Amino acid sequence: MSGKRNIIVIGASAGGFEAIKQLVAALPADLDAAIFVVWHMSADVTGMLPQVLNRQNTLLATNAIDNEPISCNHIYVAPPDKHLLLEKGVVRISRGPKENRFRPAVDPLFRSAAESYGDRVIGIVLSGALDDGTAGLWTIKSRGGIAIVQEPAEAAVPSMPESALAAVEVDYRVPIAEMATLLVRLTAETVTEASEITMEEQRKTAIETRIAAQNPALRQGILTLGTLTPYACPDCHGVLVAITDGDIIRYRCHTGHAHSADSLLATITEQIEDTLWSAIRGVEESILLLNNLGDHYADKNQPKLAAMYFKKAQEAECRAEIVRQTVFNHEQLSTASISTQAEEDEG
């Protein structure tokens, strides 16, 4: 797919707000490219990022509108609770299934850009937690696009850049201060050689892009893209399929939710704590009831029966304390925290 490298897709999460502002402030107003931004936000947050970016007095920024034409010298921002996708010549907005627990998510934007624009795409991963954007950046790179990450050492939250560096052959690892100059140079280049993509990779990307665009995952053939696993989707409890991108392993359920290995591990360990607190609540409710019944039978002059209820309440209290200590000792896990521990053990 020949042409200018004029499709720039940017993904960010925690700490990314300031990084996006700094990057946009340094861009020339006549940049011959269209820029698309996904910044993780709560569904009930007003889409204020365009207003903030417009104060930089560079390129015009707006919340993306479904089916609007793509123009250069323009920044399109994913609105709250909507995925931002690209088709040839137009922007698409959808409420497709969450990916990595987010909507908007970075991977759907990156994946759809790679499918529609191939080697004309420049993908950028900025500050953020966990690893949304890594699989999408891999897809961009596999189709001849350029992969850029913010220097993790300067990122407010380095997990997203670090994850991309670990899994993708990144072209540029640069601080925000150098990124605008790099983009000016890259967008002036013309791509002349198309990358070869296997039919299976093309099919996988097309299926996942259609899922993000609200097409039913099961009908699209999601179960054919990987291996069925014994894991349940944290969002809907559907069966998860393990999908690989090079050395990356990730998961999708038959309803469409997508999880990286990191987000799946983080979500499961979060749910373990929730479940343990629920268990404590149940045991403590039984303690209250047992003591209440003990008081009742004591008032009825049935001391032996009352004593048994009080004994059972004490036994339940001991069990509750065991579960409570388990909660306090429970570890919130992520692939990054495990890698850090492995490095510390080697040291």
Annotated catalytic sites, by residue? 13, 40, 132
Residue in 201, 193, 83, 92 with CA at minimum distance from that of residue 138? 201
* Cβ atoms 59, 190 nearer than 8 A: no
* Cβ atoms 209, 221 nearer than 8 A: no
Residue in 278, 237, 223, 233 with CA at minimum distance from that of residue 259? 233
Long-range contacts of 317-324 (CB under 8 A, 24+ apart): 317/287, 319/283, 320/280, 320/283, 320/284, 320/287, 323/276, 323/279, 323/280, 323/283, 324/280
d(CA 283, CA 290): 10
d(CA 16, CA 12): 5
Residues in Cβ contact with 198 at an 8 Å cutoff, skipping those fewer than 6 apart: none
Torsion of CA 235, 241, 244, 249, to 10 degrees: 50
